[in-house]
Amino acid sequence: MRRLVTPRATAGDPWTHAHRIERQLGAWAALSLVSAAALAWAARAWPEPPAITLGAVALQFAVWGAIDGAIAALGARDRRRRLARGEAADAAATAAFGARLRRLLRLNAGLDVGYLAVGVALVLLWRTPAGLGHGLGVLVQGGFLLLFDAWHGWRQVGYSGGPDRGPPTHPG
């Protein structure tokens, strides 16, 4: 697979940041899917109530892993298309891409808080081994995504020397 790297791409630009996000989210998706398989396998060895809980956690991990993997792949495709169109060489397009990425991550962090509320509700209101498993699965996945999206959404240092300080500057 050929990497699209422009001479203007630097460690602090939004193109590199987006690539890092895609890789990390893809790794989380893979870890979630492997964990789902391991938990489903382990559930077969346990007696009934814990097996149901483990199976529900496994299902949540599988679904979230598949969705996160698809999001990472679609983000990578979008970024590669933009790079192929030469947007990284255009300061205005780069600034717009960085602002869009920042808004998307911050919006997702807000949604992640909602996922955590759903996880808590599942644990507290669906008082069965399955409810506990689904709730725990949502809490783990939503908790990771909240930390991930918040970290990346507010971290974006380096586009122009710091977070939210305007459009990026590129050497030469």
pLDDT tens sequence across 100-156: 999 999 999 999 999 999 999 999 998 899 999 999 999 999 999 999 999 998 876
10 Cβ partners below 8 Å, 6+ apart? 16, 158, 170, 171
pLDDT at 12: 63
The predicted-structure confidence for 68-106, as pLDDT tens digits, reads as follows 999 999 999 999 999 999 888 888 888 888 889 999 999
Lowest mean pLDDT among 16-25, 128-137, 156-165: 156-165
Rounded to whole angstroms, how far apart are CA atoms 112 and 72?
17
E-only strand ranges, the chain: none
Residue with tokens 């602090």: 12
The answer to whether 120 and 135 have CB atoms below 8 angstroms apart is yes
Using pLDDT thresholds of 50, 70 and 90, give the confidence band for residue 48: confident
